[in-house]
Structure 1
Amino acid sequence: MPAEESLRSKKARMTRNALHEAAITRVLEDGLAAATVATIAADAGVSTRTFFNYFDTKEDAIVGLGADVSVDEGLADDYVHSDSGLSALAEETARFVREALLIGSVDPELPARRRRLFALYPELVSKSFDRAEALEEIVAGHVLRRLRHLGQEFSTEDSAWRSARMLTQLCRVPLNHAGQTIKRNPEAVEEKGGTPAIFDDSLGLFLKVLDRLR
């Protein structure tokens, strides 16, 4: 990827994430009805015109459902063309799924703040599911590319996609497990030294279970 494109992509992600975080903060402070696109854009340091380059509505900004839902190209290419073989497929796919489905943020409290928002405004949950489903389909496409890179063959295109979607859903288990761990015991984040450590614990357990089932 050319350096100019990489920098442009990075700037776009940073702007998208800034708007997403600003939307969450504004709604938690002022309420859903009072929060406006103008105030969210101002909080993120951009114009309302720039806001609409990334999101159609304030609700979309809150859940991160942009018109250009995508996975970072560099992240996807590193995963697809990894030199690791089939033995590392489950672990690398689980890590790829985590990175692809989570919006990057410097704020470690963001997941908890999202959950608080959904508890206050259940009507946002369906939009959150829409974003997750859109991203998961894109992720499954990259998983299929990885399977083909490894030389896997399929009888039909439908079979190929079904296999990729199944593997994607299976490898979401460590991410889901980590989220449930944090929900049950929020103090675990500080005790373990951050959410990545909790995910690593869940991933380790996931790989042990797979190994025992072989």
Structure 2
Amino acid sequence: MPGDGTTALAVAHRYWSRLEDGMNLIAAAAIFFLMFVGVFQIVGRTAFNTAIYGYIDYMEQASALFAFLGISYAQRVGAHIRMDLLLRGFSLRFLWSMELFAVLVAMLAITTLVDSTWQNFLRAYQLGDSTIDIKLPVWPTKLLVPLVLAVLWVRLALQAADYARLIRHPNAQPIAVPVIETIEVQAQNEIQEALGREEKTTGEKRP
């Protein structure tokens, strides 16, 4: 039965998901913008013998947007590469325990990375570090990294709390953690998706 802790976890998960969705949209927009600028650069150099001044520097700095902004979203939906073959066949409580262990290890690693990347930002800011070509300040990009990692740390903390709840109640409905489908379920979903596309193409429904 859901209690106050479960309700608080669900609320925190919902609001944090909005932040992650927004960051992921910014990352997607950055990819689109970089594609547009890249096409403009190629067409400009080929057809008009002109180029964007400092193009390489801008690309290097902007690439941090789509490289980092989506990592917390990917963690939430379980999009990162997983190696869970050995866990198949075990009980749900054991599965949740292994997931909690992995999340705690990730939190420890991210804690170290947040501190080191923050120190890296401070050095770049204090020294006035800049790109080689057009002297573009690099501290905004270096500041982005610890901030994004901090968002990921909070996501991992929410997942750790949910995994701890699921260890106590293995059959409870997951809230802040991704539900990883088995190979059988994935295959069934792909079959259903393929049949749905076929029905749309032929206009006929299968019995």
TM-score (norm 2): 0.29
* Structure (1 or 2) with the larger CA radius of gyration: 2
Compute the TM-score of the two structures, normalised by the length of structure 1. Answer: 0.28
Higher relative contact order (CA 8 A, sep 6+): 2
